[in-house]
Structure 1
């Protein structure tokens, strides 16, 4: 789902809103969703550089870094509080100096202001972003203001954020647990 697709979807529900306002609201809600629910996670890339020095730094290949979910330190996966502490989005304090200068791991990111996340995030969470944009647009003090519909879309957005947050905590899992059914006697 592209940004233009989302703009046209949202514009159908708020036809009086200017397209640039719709576009700006969508990019704002994409950034907010990534911030709130960790829907954009970069994996398989170095996320900490200069790890074996006094000033290690967190880097993202695209977007802005938010929080480290896990790190591979000396061959073991570590989470925050066990081997490292992240005081700000771009700084990290390692409890022990690792051997490698670059550390790989899972890093939650968000798009820069005015940008959108990658296509895979837009495909999976585009409707959540659209619901948030509809909510924000319908709350603006403009002729198209509609509190009842805004409340509906706000509830939809909050549900989407909760679902996204739960999926990110489960490692972006899809589907539920598989359980063998009991035999019927």
Structure 2
């Protein structure tokens, strides 16, 4: 039987997310980009809201194919701002397109997004042990540092809270209950 934190038992979708996605190390550029994008859309909202719309986000953002998203122009951004199936926040949409372009710039330097993001934890998941009922911190010194470095690299809409949520989602921080 899988032990889950309270948030993961709040709905069938959250159980599915926890059981099959959350906290497992991700090393695929496209999946990392997708999770970073979904995390930035979550800002100010619940994760359940975003996860329920995941299929719509995938369709709207070309399955998060980095090369495709990087080509989105003003017309495409306008279309996305009018799409009721996703979160229609222009700053967030523009940040996703910007971030795809930053990842392509990293690739020109022979740096994959996977290598870039995992370097911050030495390529190895960091273990966080929580006691029963203890909540994840909203951010850490490490997420603050990563957020600063990513902003310097050109990424947008990646504050320390978004980054810490991303880190736990993609397994850079392993906070799963054992």
Per the TM superposition, whether the score is higher than 0.5 is no
**Structure 1 or 2: larger helix share?**
2
**Structure 1 or 2: larger strand share?**
1
Structure label with greater radius of gyration: 1
Tell me the TM-score normalized by structure 1.
Answer: 0.28
Tell me the TM-score normalized by structure 2.
Answer: 0.29
